[in-house]
Amino acid sequence: MRSRSLLRPAILLLLREQESHGYELMSRLAELGVEVPPTTGGLYRSLRTMADEGLVTSYWSTPDRGPARRVYAISETGEQHLEASMPALASLLRTVRGMLNRYRQGT
């Protein structure tokens, strides 16, 4: 089952916890169990779209060693979007629990 519809709220949730660069965010999404785009480019496209919509912001971090990295953070609009997503996620959870319960009762 695809969890693509969970990608945006998951990104916002993780960025709410901690600002992250793309590779780190991809690892954190996988730890959360959210299906990530098959390529890093897919994640960056999602982040770019979310930035265009004002949900995330970004800045360049230039560490002493290694290449510069774009770091992403949740914006105020992103916070509002995340909060507005919670009822739909709660409804999805209830639906999945109901389906699992019915399946278990039938076996």
Question: Which DSSP string do the residues of 39-75 spell out, in sequence order?
Answer: SHHHHHHHHHHHHHTTSEEEEEE--SSS--EEEEEE-
57, pLDDT greater than 90: yes
87, pLDDT greater than 50: yes
- The predicted model gives 59-85 an average pLDDT of 95
84/41 Cα distance (integer angstroms): 27
Is the separation of the CB atoms in 43 and 25 below 8 Å? yes
Q: Which pair of tokens denotes residue 35?
A: 């299906």
- The predicted model gives 72-83 an average pLDDT of 98
Domains parsed from the chain with CATH numbers: 4-105 (1.10.10.10)
pLDDT in tens, 7-31: 999 999 999 999 999 999 999 999 9
* Average pLDDT, rounded, for the chain: 91
